[in-house]
Structure 1
Amino acid sequence: MKKLILLAACSVLLTAAPALAHGPHEHGAARLDVAVEGNLVEISLESPLANALPFEHAPRDAAQRQAVQNMAATLHKAENIFVFPAAAQCRIKKVKLESEALPEALLGANTTAQPEKTQTSQQNASTAPAVEPKPHADHDEDTGHDEHGGHADLDASFTFECAQPEALHGVDVRLFSAWPALHELRVQIVSPTGQHAAELNEQAHTLKW
């Protein structure tokens, strides 16, 4: 039932913001959808591969295959990328990675990542200011092109379960340190406080709701 509620909430959010949901392939920028319902947090990430890798095509040699595996390993440790308040006792339940350009075997698709591991990092470990939800303005320009002329995306989904949801009031998104080529995250949030939009960057990467 909670899954159905979360999916319905995300559908409403994306209907309300079609420009963001179907935005252009823009290097340096990515889209993040966050749905909070009860003790569950569903996060969806859509990003050009160029933000995570130095290429946007199927790996052509051992070094490129290793780069894909390293990227996937980082995302499967999602508790280090999305850091919730320690008091909320959130743990990662599921990670799924997909890309039309990358072999599924290298992404570890449909892998359940460390379901019993509870976050111990404090949200205030980061000194970045919190970003409050705000009206969103989409961008149309494409800021980069793959040297081989193609474009490919990475789609990632993350499911967290929090033992103390009353302490769940935000998340520190540490994807910028993992992906130096990423400069902007355009965020849509569905939470108990309503539907909101926000933008994150290297200096301001903490969401509040």
Structure 2
Amino acid sequence: MKNMILLVACAALLAASPASAHGPHEHGAARLNVTVESAVVSIDLESPLANALPFEHAPSTPEQIQAVQGMAATLHRAENIFIFPAAAQCRLKEVTLESEALPANLLAANAAQQPAKPAHQDHAAQQPPAEKPEHPDHDGHAAHTEHNDHAAGAEHADLDASFVFECANPKALTGMDVDLFSAWPALHELRVQLVSPTGQHAAELNHKAHSLTW
């Protein structure tokens, strides 16, 4: 019965919470959903890419690719970001990273081992030079407009990350520290929705206050 009540509360919270879908894109802020059920802690993070990277588009240079790989490597070591009481003996079991702007292979657990090759480099090398349109005033303007429209749509992109921890001693699982602010200096605020055995809670974390208790 206790587990059923917790599951119902979790479903209600996710349905009502703006973090259950992409909300307003606000640089410097991110959303965190935390669900604690017995020995399992599930964490969902939604953040603008700008909080983690100096750009919000597919990487096109070796430096940008390395930045994405570094971000992915940091998140795949989430035990250094979400820190539980040592007595709870929590272990990271699963990490999932997704972004509409970033290649999936660069977000994989072995992302740091991927070669730093600019995106579309091979494709671009195989393509012959585009012919100059006969009417640049018309066709050129249309192409420029299409490019601008595409760029405008790619100006804002998000990162969705999920983490699952399992804890050998759930009785000692009374909270966690969130050290994401040191990893992402551009992040200033985490808006948290928490479902735990003690109920539903909302919190706001920042550089100075980054601990959750339940």
Q: Which residue of 1 aligns with 2:101?
A: 101
Q: Does 1:164 align with 2:176?
A: no
Q: Which residue of 1 aligns with 2:41?
A: 41
Q: Does 1:201 align with 2:206?
A: yes
Which structure 1 residue ranges, 4+ long, deviate > 6 Å from structure 2? 3-7, 146-149
Gaps spanning 5+ residues in structure 1: where?
112-145
Distance in 2 (CA, whole Å) between partners of 1:35 and 1:109 is 23
Q: Which residue of 1 aligns with 2:190?
A: 185
Distance in 2 (CA, whole Å) between partners of 1:168 and 1:198 is 18
Instruction: Please state whether the residue corresponding to 1:13 is helix, strand or coil.
Output: helix
8 Å contact kept, 1:32–1:46: yes
8 Å contact kept, 1:97–1:109: no
Q: Does 1:28 align with 2:28?
A: yes
Q: How many residues align?
A: 173
Instruction: Please state whether the residue corresponding to 2:102 is helix, strand or coil.
Output: coil
Distance in 2 (CA, whole Å) between partners of 1:73 and 1:6 is 33
User: Deviations for 1:4-50, whole angstroms, at most 9, x for unmatched residues?
Assistant: 99875543112233488543000000000000001000000000000
Q: Does 1:90 align with 2:90?
A: yes
Q: Which has the higher helix share?
A: 2
Residues 90-169 of structure 1 aligned to structure 2 (within 5 Å): 90-108=90-108, 150-169=155-174
Q: Which has the larger radius of gyration?
A: 2
8 Å contact kept, 2:46–2:160: yes
Q: Which residue of 2 aligns with 1:50?
A: 50
Distance in 1 (CA, whole Å) between partners of 2:99 and 2:4 is 25
Instruction: Please state whether the residue corresponding to 1:27 is helix, strand or coil.
Output: coil
TM-align CA RMSD: 2.7
Instruction: Please state whether the residue corresponding to 2:54 is helix, strand or coil.
Output: coil
Distance in 1 (CA, whole Å) between partners of 2:9 and 2:59 is 36
TM-score calculated relative to the size of structure 2: 0.74
8 Å contact kept, 2:19–2:46: no
User: Deviations for 1:37-88, whole angstroms, at most 9, x for unmatched residues?
Assistant: 0100000000000000000000011110000000000000000000000000
The 3 A distance-change label for structure 1 pair 19 and 102 is closer
TM-score calculated relative to the size of structure 1: 0.76
What is the one-letter code of the residue matched to 2:159?
L
The 3 A distance-change label for structure 1 pair 158 and 151 is same
User: Deviations for 1:93-128, whole angstroms, at most 9, x for unmatched residues?
Assistant: 0000000000000000799xxxxxxxxxxxxxxxxx
What is the one-letter code of the residue matched to 1:187?
V
Q: How far 1:188 sits from its partner (Å)?
A: 0.1
What is the one-letter code of the residue matched to 1:208?
T
Gaps spanning 5+ residues in structure 2: where?
112-150
What is the one-letter code of the residue matched to 1:200?
L
What is the one-letter code of the residue matched to 1:70?
G
